[in-house]
Structure 1
């Protein structure tokens, strides 16, 4: 297809690609006998990461030949090549590999479409929960549980069968979600500042991009991230949060995150829905 703008992309095929990749991850997750490698930055890598990447990349290239792909497991594309990309897929085939290894179920498949350095479409699938979060500019942000029971062929199906986000709100208590694997002193200081401003503050932990999804749906009010992340960690969740009327902004300058930077590392940021 010849891409003009995000309205040319139906959510249905992207959702199917994410769910199929999630099923491949579960197939390996349930085996218990997979090998664990370590990348140059000492982060873990499993067969599930590789297989999910291959499945997603193959399907995206099949349906959208003219849109390039940047994936965590294929992130060695030099900036000299990708700097000309106005539109591209940004993929984390298994977000939360540490949670996958710990077997706590808090891992996701993330697929985002970036246009002019901003995410305009995002799909996050939680394989263990069979739960989908999806958003598209001009359509909205939705949560769908029990996807096996749903028809999800196009935007209309998703709008009809999904729950519009946010779907809950904490009035009496401020809830803060933090990373299960990357809790920093700065995050703890941020939580203490909230406690000085609000009568009741509760904290909770989660892995992967689930934190962004929980803010988008209103289950949490803040997600402070004062620790390293990469662009593929946040892109899909970013648009899901924004289309749910939430905010994701940098700590320095309170600017929206941008994508396809020369260095793919994100600055520290805060996500909120209040």
Structure 2
């Protein structure tokens, strides 16, 4: 498949969105059921439930069936061997997180989601983030903008980030927990107007799209976020007018072998991205003295 085929990418995205709605229904059925056993298993990188596995099975089986004629690779949280750290030997790779925010799912906060991205040579060209309990699917195709589709009426609406332009007017979106001392010092030092709280990376980025917040920061510590946490959220943000880079300004590449994203990644509404990256670099240098 040629990367310079926007109509083909749009067609693939539409099919992938239909698969995503199926995954949304599966996750929601487990979330809202009083009878389904989640069979929670606590692994090194966090808990895994039957819902993760059921959504993963649905996404992989349907993408493989619907795109059997295309030479796609598949990188999913539930099937990728992080220890081997070998890239998938394909130009085109689906990157999948079947349940983003498993702890929120278990704790019944409603703040969970899932991610489906298609990357070409390490960069996302299709991104889908589903938020089942909000009944929303955010999706983007490279160069075509970001849209939100609602489950209730299937209405599709273009969506863009806020126009807030100075750090003192921006809102930071963070988790309620999962912050080590270094990260806490960083966000306490930055001059934001306020903080908002949300579980899951996709959920956090959706608040930037909805103009409820403006900045998300990922700072690795003993562990790091992974490819499937970022690939789809990155594209829905950047196609809505935002920016998503390392604090150095370098882009994030996926399917590079080691899926762990060490360092500091900054996602913003784009209006003062470079200034924030400079401030973050300076603050981290001071913290790390």
TM-score (norm 1): 0.86
Which residue number corresponds to residue 210 of structure 1? 203
Counterpart selection for 1:263 from 255, 258, 264: 258
- d(CA) in 1 for partners of 2:98 and 2:243? 24
Query: Of residues 75, 78, 82 in structure 1, which corresponds to 2:80?
Result: 75
Contact 1:143 1:165 in 2 (8 A): no
Looking at structure 2, the residues matched to 70 and 120 of structure 1 have their Cα atoms a distance apart, in angstroms, of 15
Structure 1 residue ranges without an equivalent (≥5):
152-160
2:32 aligns with 30
TM-score (norm 2): 0.82
Runs of 4+ in structure 1 deviating by more than 6 angstroms, as ranges, are none
Residues 59 and 181 of structure 1, relative CA distance in 2, 3 Å threshold: farther
Output the CA distance in 2 between the equivalents of 1:42 and 1:137. 31
Residue 229 (structure 1) aligns with: 225
**SS of residue matched to 1:128:** helix
Structure 2 residue ranges without an equivalent (≥5): 272-289
Whether 2:212 is the aligned partner of 1:219: answer yes
Q: Name the SS for the 1:91 alignment partner.
A: strand
Q: Supply the distance in 2 between the matched residues of 1:138 and 1:170 (Cα, whole angstroms).
A: 23
RMSD of equivalent CA atoms: 2.0
The separation in 2 between residues aligned to 1:135 and 1:81, in whole angstroms, is 24
2:115 counterpart of 1:110: yes
Q: Is the 8 A contact 1:180 1:207 kept in 2?
A: yes
Question: 1: CA distance between counterparts of 2:86 and 2:216?
Answer: 33
TM-fit CA distance, 1:238: 0.4
Q: How many residues align?
A: 254
- On the 8 A contact 1:181/1:207 being kept in 2, the answer is no
CA drift at 1:181: 3.6
Contact 1:178 1:225 in 2 (8 A): no
Distance 1:37 1:80 in 2: 25
